[in-house]
Protein backbone atom coordinates (compact mmCIF):
# COMPACT_ATOMS: atom_id res chain seq x y z
CA UNK A 1 0.00 0.00 0.00
CA UNK A 2 1.54 3.31 -1.14
CA UNK A 3 -0.50 6.45 -0.52
CA UNK A 4 -0.07 9.86 -2.08
CA UNK A 5 -0.65 12.33 0.73
CA UNK A 6 -2.26 15.05 -1.34
CA UNK A 7 -3.14 16.87 1.88
CA UNK A 8 0.56 17.48 2.63
CA UNK A 9 2.95 20.14 1.29
CA UNK A 10 6.72 20.52 1.37
CA UNK A 11 8.51 23.63 2.60
CA UNK A 12 12.25 23.99 1.98
CA UNK A 13 14.63 25.96 4.18
CA UNK A 14 18.00 26.47 2.53
CA UNK A 15 21.00 28.59 3.42
CA UNK A 16 23.77 28.79 5.98
CA UNK A 17 21.47 29.60 8.90
CA UNK A 18 18.58 27.22 8.17
CA UNK A 19 19.34 24.68 10.91
CA UNK A 20 20.23 27.40 13.44
CA UNK A 21 16.94 29.20 12.81
CA UNK A 22 14.92 26.02 13.33
CA UNK A 23 16.92 25.03 16.41
CA UNK A 24 15.77 28.18 18.18
CA UNK A 25 12.12 27.75 17.18
CA UNK A 26 10.94 24.14 17.16
CA UNK A 27 10.38 21.52 19.86
CA UNK A 28 12.92 18.96 18.64
CA UNK A 29 16.71 18.99 18.46
CA UNK A 30 18.06 19.83 15.01
CA UNK A 31 21.39 18.27 16.02
CA UNK A 32 19.65 14.90 15.59
CA UNK A 33 18.57 15.55 11.99
CA UNK A 34 20.64 13.79 9.33
CA UNK A 35 20.04 12.15 5.93
CA UNK A 36 19.56 8.87 7.83
CA UNK A 37 17.39 10.26 10.63
CA UNK A 38 14.20 12.29 10.14
CA UNK A 39 12.52 14.20 12.96
CA UNK A 40 9.01 15.02 14.08
CA UNK A 41 8.53 18.45 15.67
CA UNK A 42 6.15 21.33 16.29
CA UNK A 43 6.21 25.09 16.39
CA UNK A 44 4.37 26.31 19.47
CA UNK A 45 2.91 29.56 20.71
CA UNK A 46 4.88 31.30 23.49
CA UNK A 47 2.27 29.77 25.83
CA UNK A 48 3.24 26.26 24.72
CA UNK A 49 0.24 25.40 22.50
CA UNK A 50 0.59 23.69 19.13
CA UNK A 51 0.48 25.97 16.09
CA UNK A 52 2.07 23.67 13.49
CA UNK A 53 3.39 20.10 13.47
CA UNK A 54 5.60 18.65 10.74
CA UNK A 55 8.18 16.05 9.83
CA UNK A 56 11.69 17.18 8.90
CA UNK A 57 14.04 15.48 6.44
CA UNK A 58 17.35 16.47 4.91
CA UNK A 59 17.79 16.45 1.15
CA UNK A 60 17.74 18.48 -2.05
CA UNK A 61 20.30 20.81 -0.45
CA UNK A 62 17.81 21.95 2.19
CA UNK A 63 15.87 21.05 5.29
CA UNK A 64 12.47 19.83 4.05
CA UNK A 65 9.32 20.21 6.16
CA UNK A 66 6.51 17.76 5.40
CA UNK A 67 3.48 19.65 6.74
CA UNK A 68 -0.31 19.84 6.33
CA UNK A 69 -1.24 21.54 3.06
CA UNK A 70 -3.97 23.56 4.78
CA UNK A 71 -1.39 25.19 7.08
CA UNK A 72 1.61 25.41 4.75
CA UNK A 73 1.32 29.05 3.69
CA UNK A 74 0.71 30.13 7.29
CA UNK A 75 3.80 28.20 8.38
CA UNK A 76 5.90 29.90 5.69
CA UNK A 77 4.69 33.28 6.93
CA UNK A 78 5.47 32.39 10.56
CA UNK A 79 8.98 31.15 9.74
CA UNK A 80 9.61 34.23 7.60
CA UNK A 81 8.54 36.44 10.52
CA UNK A 82 11.17 34.80 12.73
CA UNK A 83 13.90 34.86 10.06
CA UNK A 84 14.96 38.51 10.58
CA UNK A 85 18.53 38.79 9.18
CA UNK A 86 19.27 35.06 9.12
CA UNK A 87 20.68 33.69 5.87
CA UNK A 88 17.76 31.40 5.06
CA UNK A 89 15.57 31.00 2.00
CA UNK A 90 12.10 29.73 2.88
CA UNK A 91 9.82 28.53 0.09
CA UNK A 92 7.04 26.14 -0.75
CA UNK A 93 8.08 23.49 -3.27
CA UNK A 94 4.85 22.42 -4.98
CA UNK A 95 6.82 20.17 -7.36
CA UNK A 96 7.56 17.89 -4.39
CA UNK A 97 4.98 15.38 -3.15
CA UNK A 98 4.71 13.19 -0.05
CA UNK A 99 4.21 9.43 -0.10
CA UNK A 100 3.57 6.99 2.77
CA UNK A 101 3.86 3.19 2.91
CA UNK A 102 3.38 0.86 5.87
CA UNK A 103 3.37 -2.72 4.56
CA UNK A 104 7.06 -3.19 3.78
CA UNK A 105 7.15 -1.32 0.47
CA UNK A 106 10.12 0.76 -0.68
CA UNK A 107 9.70 4.32 -1.90
CA UNK A 108 11.60 6.51 -4.37
CA UNK A 109 12.97 9.96 -3.62
CA UNK A 110 14.05 11.11 -0.16
CA UNK A 111 12.67 8.28 1.96
CA UNK A 112 12.83 7.86 5.73
CA UNK A 113 11.31 5.89 8.57
CA UNK A 114 8.45 7.76 10.19
CA UNK A 115 10.05 9.01 13.44
CA UNK A 116 6.79 9.01 15.39
CA UNK A 117 5.90 5.34 15.52
CA UNK A 118 7.45 2.31 13.73
CA UNK A 119 4.04 0.96 12.69
CA UNK A 120 3.44 4.12 10.64
CA UNK A 121 6.05 2.74 8.20
CA UNK A 122 8.03 4.98 5.88
CA UNK A 123 7.52 8.24 4.07
CA UNK A 124 9.15 9.84 1.06
CA UNK A 125 9.43 13.27 -0.49
CA UNK A 126 9.51 12.77 -4.23
CA UNK A 127 9.35 14.90 -7.36
CA UNK A 128 5.96 14.79 -9.04
CA UNK A 129 7.63 13.55 -12.23
CA UNK A 130 9.01 10.50 -10.35
CA UNK A 131 5.69 9.38 -8.87
CA UNK A 132 5.36 5.56 -8.90
CA UNK A 133 2.29 4.11 -10.63
CA UNK A 134 -0.75 2.81 -8.81
CA UNK A 135 -0.62 4.96 -5.67
CA UNK A 136 -3.76 5.30 -3.58
CA UNK A 137 -5.33 8.43 -2.14
CA UNK A 138 -4.42 9.60 1.35
CA UNK A 139 -7.48 8.03 3.02
CA UNK A 140 -6.01 4.54 3.65
CA UNK A 141 -3.05 6.18 5.36
CA UNK A 142 -5.27 8.34 7.56
CA UNK A 143 -7.41 5.35 8.50
CA UNK A 144 -4.21 3.48 9.42
CA UNK A 145 -2.80 6.25 11.63
CA UNK A 146 -6.15 6.89 13.32
CA UNK A 147 -6.36 3.17 14.11
CA UNK A 148 -2.94 3.55 15.76
CA UNK A 149 -4.16 6.61 17.67
CA UNK A 150 -1.65 9.01 16.08
CA UNK A 151 -2.91 12.60 15.68
CA UNK A 152 -1.52 15.12 13.21
CA UNK A 153 -2.37 18.42 11.56
CA UNK A 154 -5.98 19.47 12.01
CA UNK A 155 -6.44 16.94 14.83
CA UNK A 156 -4.68 19.47 17.08
CA UNK A 157 -6.64 22.53 15.97
CA UNK A 158 -4.54 25.71 16.04
CA UNK A 159 -3.38 27.31 19.27
CA UNK A 160 -5.74 25.02 21.17
CA UNK A 161 -3.75 22.16 22.74
CA UNK A 162 -0.58 22.10 24.83
CA UNK A 163 2.26 20.05 23.35
CA UNK A 164 2.23 17.41 26.09
CA UNK A 165 -1.58 17.14 26.09
CA UNK A 166 -1.32 16.47 22.34
CA UNK A 167 0.90 13.37 22.84
CA UNK A 168 3.97 15.04 21.31
CA UNK A 169 6.34 13.71 23.94
CA UNK A 170 5.37 10.08 23.28
CA UNK A 171 5.58 10.70 19.52
CA UNK A 172 9.21 11.82 19.92
CA UNK A 173 8.56 15.44 18.93
CA UNK A 174 9.93 17.14 22.05
CA UNK A 175 13.53 17.35 23.25
CA UNK A 176 14.00 18.16 26.93
CA UNK A 177 17.80 18.49 26.59
CA UNK A 178 18.15 21.08 23.82
CA UNK A 179 18.26 24.81 24.45
CA UNK A 180 15.39 27.25 24.37
CA UNK A 181 12.66 27.31 21.74
CA UNK A 182 9.30 29.02 21.45
CA UNK A 183 7.01 27.68 24.20
CA UNK A 184 9.84 25.77 25.91
CA UNK A 185 9.39 27.20 29.40
CA UNK A 186 5.80 26.08 29.89
CA UNK A 187 6.38 22.73 28.15
CA UNK A 188 9.32 21.95 30.46
CA UNK A 189 7.32 23.04 33.51
CA UNK A 190 4.43 20.72 32.61
CA UNK A 191 6.89 17.87 32.14
CA UNK A 192 8.73 18.30 35.41
CA UNK A 193 5.65 19.06 37.50
CA UNK A 194 3.61 16.28 35.92
CA UNK A 195 0.70 18.63 35.27
CA UNK A 196 -0.35 17.23 31.87
CA UNK A 197 -3.75 15.75 32.77
CA UNK A 198 -5.26 15.58 29.28
CA UNK A 199 -4.51 13.38 26.29
CA UNK A 200 -5.56 13.49 22.66
CA UNK A 201 -7.18 10.11 21.99
CA UNK A 202 -8.66 8.52 18.89
CA UNK A 203 -12.41 7.94 18.91
CA UNK A 204 -14.75 6.06 16.59
CA UNK A 205 -18.47 5.40 16.27
CA UNK A 206 -20.96 3.32 14.30
CA UNK A 207 -22.31 6.49 12.64
CA UNK A 208 -20.76 9.79 11.63
CA UNK A 209 -19.37 11.79 14.50
CA UNK A 210 -20.75 15.23 15.39
CA UNK A 211 -18.55 18.25 14.63
CA UNK A 212 -15.38 19.30 16.46
CA UNK A 213 -16.09 21.16 19.68
CA UNK A 214 -18.84 18.75 20.72
CA UNK A 215 -18.54 17.69 24.36
CA UNK A 216 -17.68 14.08 25.17
CA UNK A 217 -19.95 12.97 28.01
CA UNK A 218 -19.93 10.09 30.49
CA UNK A 219 -22.79 9.71 32.93
CA UNK A 220 -23.86 13.35 32.38
CA UNK A 221 -20.34 14.55 33.11
CA UNK A 222 -18.11 16.20 30.51
CA UNK A 223 -14.80 14.38 30.15
CA UNK A 224 -13.51 16.26 27.11
CA UNK A 225 -14.43 17.37 23.61
CA UNK A 226 -14.00 16.32 20.00
CA UNK A 227 -11.12 18.11 18.25
CA UNK A 228 -11.45 16.61 14.76
CA UNK A 229 -13.82 14.32 12.89
CA UNK A 230 -13.68 12.44 9.59
CA UNK A 231 -16.83 10.42 9.13
CA UNK A 232 -16.89 7.78 11.84
CA UNK A 233 -13.34 8.48 13.08
CA UNK A 234 -11.76 11.36 14.91
CA UNK A 235 -9.87 12.60 17.95
CA UNK A 236 -10.95 13.98 21.29
CA UNK A 237 -9.06 15.82 24.01
CA UNK A 238 -9.88 13.86 27.16
CA UNK A 239 -9.40 14.70 30.84
CA UNK A 240 -7.81 11.52 32.20
CA UNK A 241 -8.80 12.18 35.81
CA UNK A 242 -12.46 12.62 34.86
CA UNK A 243 -12.32 9.54 32.64
CA UNK A 244 -10.98 7.54 35.57
CA UNK A 245 -13.87 8.71 37.75
CA UNK A 246 -16.36 7.19 35.31
CA UNK A 247 -14.28 4.15 34.36
CA UNK A 248 -16.38 1.77 32.28
CA UNK A 249 -19.09 4.35 31.70
CA UNK A 250 -20.74 4.87 28.32
CA UNK A 251 -19.17 7.72 26.34
CA UNK A 252 -21.30 9.83 24.02
CA UNK A 253 -21.13 12.98 21.91
CA UNK A 254 -24.57 14.40 21.09
CA UNK A 255 -26.07 10.95 21.79
CA UNK A 256 -23.61 9.20 19.43
CA UNK A 257 -21.92 6.39 21.35
CA UNK A 258 -18.12 6.58 21.18
CA UNK A 259 -15.37 4.01 21.33
CA UNK A 260 -12.22 5.44 22.86
CA UNK A 261 -8.75 4.09 21.96
CA UNK A 262 -5.99 3.89 24.59
CA UNK A 263 -2.92 2.99 22.49
CA UNK A 264 -0.14 1.07 24.18
CA UNK A 265 2.52 3.45 22.85
CA UNK A 266 0.85 6.29 24.78
CA UNK A 267 0.08 4.50 28.05
CA UNK A 268 2.98 2.01 28.27
CATH label of the domain that carries residue 111:
3.30.1360.120
The CATH code of the domain that includes 236 is 2.40.30.110
CA–chain centroid gap for 117, Å, is 11
- Are 228 and 122 within one domain? no
Residues 7, 101: one domain?
A: yes
Region 176-204 average pLDDT: 93
pLDDT at 219: 83
- What per-residue confidence (pLDDT) applies to 234? 97
Instruction: Give the CA distances from residue 113 to residues 23, 43, 145, 169, in Å, rounded to whole numbers and listed in that order.
Output: 21, 21, 14, 18
> pLDDT averaged over the chain?
95
Q: What is the pLDDT of residue 267?
A: 84
| pLDDT at 268 (0 to 100) | 62
Residue 7 has pLDDT above 70, yes or no: yes
Domain presence at residue 170: no
pLDDT confidence of residue 157: 85
Same domain? For 6 and 70 the reply is yes
Q: Is 18 left (phi over 0), alpha (psi -120 to 50) or beta?
A: alpha
**Number of compact structural domains in the chain:** 2
Average pLDDT over residues 111-124: 98
Provide mean pLDDT across the span 133-154.
96
Are residues 97 and 28 both part of a single domain? yes
Counting residues of the chain whose pLDDT is more than 90, the rounded percentage is 90
Range of the domain at 229: 197-267
Find the mean pLDDT for residues 83-91.
Answer: 96
What pLDDT does residue 110 have?
97
Q: What is the pTM of this model?
A: 0.95
User: DSSP 3-state assignment of 81?
Assistant: helix
Do residues 24 and 146 share a domain?
Answer: yes
Q: Using alpha carbons only, what angle is made at residue 252 by residues 166 and 235, rounded to the nearest 5 degrees?
A: 25
pLDDT in tens, 222-238: 999 999 999 999 999 99
Amino acid sequence: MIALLEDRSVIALAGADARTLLQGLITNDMEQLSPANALYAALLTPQGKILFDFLLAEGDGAVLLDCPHSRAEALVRRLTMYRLRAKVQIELRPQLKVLAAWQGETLPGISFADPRLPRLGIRAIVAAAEMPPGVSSAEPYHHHRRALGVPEGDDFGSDAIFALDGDLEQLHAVSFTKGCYVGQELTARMKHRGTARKRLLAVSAATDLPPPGTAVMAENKSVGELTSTAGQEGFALIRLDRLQEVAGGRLTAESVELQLARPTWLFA
